Amino acid sequence: MDFKAEIAAAIAQSLEIDVNEVLGAIEIPPNKDMGDYAYPCFRLAKTLRKAPPLIAAELAEKVQLPSFVKETKVIGAYLNFFTEKSVFAKEIITKVFEEKENYGKSTVGAGKNIVIDYSSPNIAKPFHVGHLRSTVIGNAIYKIHEFLGYNCVGVNHLGDWGTQFGKLITAYKLWGDAEKVEKDGISELMRIYVLFHDEAEKDPSLEDTARSWFVKMQDGDEEALTLWKWFKDISLKEFERVYNTLGVSFDSYAGESFYNDKMAAVVDELKEKELLIESNGAMIVDLEADKMPPCLIIRTDGGTLYATRDITAAIYRKNTYDFEKCIYITAIDQILHFSQWFKVIEKMGYDWNKQLVHVPFGLVSLESGKLSTRKGNVVLMEDLLNEAVKKTAAIIEEKNPDLPNKEEVAKQVGIGAVIFDDLYNGRIKDIVFSWEKMLSFEGETGPYVQYTNARACSVLRKAGDEVTCDIDFSVLTDDVTVEVIKLLASFNEKVQEAADKYEPSVVSRYVVDLTQAFNKFYHDNPILSADEKTRKARLAVVKAVSSVLTSGLALLGVQAPEQM
């Protein structure tokens, strides 16, 4: 039984209005003394031509209350509903037990494909903390949509094409060493890349050499493509190591180079539709009428650009996956780029342009300044993850040296801390990277949630009983327990909200709220020492909370160890 939906149906029937309209308006009162659900009557004042408090009073008289509603109360312009707590507890706890890891799932996305483009690091550049956001936000959005029944396609649109490869080939030809590249991998490629930029400031002709190498790549030059593929293979090996550590995977690694042989047809289509015009030797789509700068499609030297590849990729993905939505997770500074080429798709006559969604996130900077691979000013992802695991291992050694599987738990908690820290912030917020903050286990953090779940698992192990929901639910009507059950009841709603807003922090804040409510329940209510009837009922709450915390963390890409 969905309590909110049942109340909405009763109100809609009484007022003869659309049930979805009512459902969207129902609120959870800020204070438990004001009931469990509240319906605001402001929006009805205009159509009914009555004062909202009077509408609320009349509605209270005529609404046919569902059996689980104990009483209603008019408070100002709101009609507030008080549920029968034991019925509420029975419905929710029983549902969690019956559905287990499927609790909170829905079929709202059944039969719909969603393409999610995330992470997408540049080949031959190190995987640093600036890539963390796109990777973990994208991974969470993938898992959240999958939980709601969508068929998700995760795409790692690798930055494996472009003038930076011309620069890297130039740098390698001038200062590179094959043995050193094989031995040191990306760090050596990064060293010569940084060196190129230092030297190009003194000798700008290096930029021309780099451009000519990229044109050779586009023209299929064997030497250029051999070096490019070598750099790509070295990079992918290192990226995979980081992805495995983070527990992130993809369904497709089709990067920019995948679209090389598909762009000519798109350029021809733009010409046929008379969208492409010449401007100072380059080819553009004019967006002045849309109050945007022109979208550059072909450079003066004949090279393609990000927009050319993104438009081509979108058309390919629509044809291949017939997506309901194609979601792009990138930094906020790319908003204009996406607005421009989304508009080009619309001008091409494709009505699915509305299915393209850019999900921007705030920038990551270092306390010492902006991240820059050109300047070598980065914090490597592997260094961060290794440091997190190392710090966690030291804490375990100090506090629980006899813990089984210490190394595995240190990885789960340390890496979970890094992921959760990123996802607890609203995605649009800029982040100043701080080792201390990222690795803190104090306050509203991943380790705090994981530790609470481990505590719940410990209680269940000590109980030794087979915990069931065949219990006396009248025991579970105190305020602290009801608060926990209310939060359990809202899990699906929070997951749906996270999907609608493309905002994983809705889930991370939810699991923190549930953790805090459970810790109060644990503190205020004796469990193992209670009388048999109360013990069994409270153990059912403990098991239900552990189940939902585990599911909530999994949606964020964070594991839930049973012992810590």
Element (H, E) at 130: helix 129-147
Model confidence band, residue 241 (pLDDT cutoffs 50, 70, 90): very high
How far apart CA 556 and CA 137 sit, in angstroms, is: 8
Token pair listed for 492 = 């699906």
552 within 8 A of 511, measured Cβ to Cβ? yes
Distances (CA, A) of 9 to 29, 305, 491: 19, 53, 21
Q: What is the pLDDT of residues 257-312, one digit of tens each?
A: 999 999 999 999 999 999 999 999 999 999 999 999 999 999 887 878 899 999 99
Residue 379 confidence (pLDDT) above 80: no
Model confidence band, residue 365 (pLDDT cutoffs 50, 70, 90): confident
Mean pLDDT check: name the lowest of 69-78, 118-127, 193-202: 118-127
Q: What pLDDT is attached to residue 8?
A: 95
Token pair listed for 447 = 């380790």
Q: What pLDDT is attached to residue 103?
A: 97
Class for the domain spanning 415-556: mainly alpha
Model confidence band, residue 130 (pLDDT cutoffs 50, 70, 90): confident
Q: What is the dihedral of CA 94, 97, 98, 104, to 10 degrees?
A: 90
How far apart CA 76 and CA 61 sit, in angstroms, is: 15
Model confidence band, residue 372 (pLDDT cutoffs 50, 70, 90): low
Residues 6 or more apart in contact with residue 249 via CB below 8 angstroms: 154, 243
Q: Is the dihedral of CA 263, 230, 130, 367 positive or negative?
A: negative
Question: Edge-to-edge strands of the sheet including 113-117?
Answer: 151-155, 113-117, 325-331, 356-361
Cα-to-chain-centroid distance, residue 162: 28
Find, among 158, 558, 552, 140, the residue nearest to 359 by Cα.
Answer: 140
Q: What is the pLDDT of residues 318-347, one digit of tens each?
A: 999 999 999 999 999 999 999 999 999 999
DSSP state string for 175-204:
H--HHHHHHHTHHHHHHHHHHHHHHHHH-T
Q: What is the mean pLDDT of residues 470-479?
A: 96
Residues 6 or more apart in contact with residue 440 via CB below 8 angstroms: 417, 421
Token pair listed for 542 = 């403990």
Q: What pLDDT is attached to residue 554?
A: 98
Residue in the structure block whose two tokens are 């550590």: 245
Residue 126 confidence (pLDDT) above 90: no
Pinpoint the residues of the chain covered by CATH 3.40.50.620: 113-272+303-370
Model confidence band, residue 375 (pLDDT cutoffs 50, 70, 90): low
Pinpoint the residues of the chain covered by CATH 1.10.730.10: 415-556
How far apart CA 96 and CA 487 sit, in angstroms, is: 12
- When computed from its CA atoms, the radius of gyration of the chain, rounded to whole angstroms, is 28
List active site positions: 125, 128, 131
Residues 6 or more apart in contact with residue 310 via CB below 8 angstroms: 337, 338, 341
At the topology level of CATH, where does 3-83 sit?
Gyrase A; domain 2 (3.30.1360)
DSSP 464: -
Q: For 145, list phi and psi in degrees, rounded to 5.
A: -70, -40
Residue in the structure block whose two tokens are 């898992």: 143
Question: Does domain 113-272+303-370 bear CATH number 3.40.50.620?
Answer: yes
When comparing pLDDT for 435 and 561, which is higher? 561
How far apart CA 270 and CA 307 sit, in angstroms, is: 13
Mean pLDDT check: name the lowest of 70-79, 122-131, 271-280, 410-419: 122-131
Pinpoint the residues of the chain covered by CATH 3.30.1360.70: 3-83
**What's at 356, amino acid-wise?**
L
How far apart CA 401 and CA 144 sit, in angstroms, is: 36
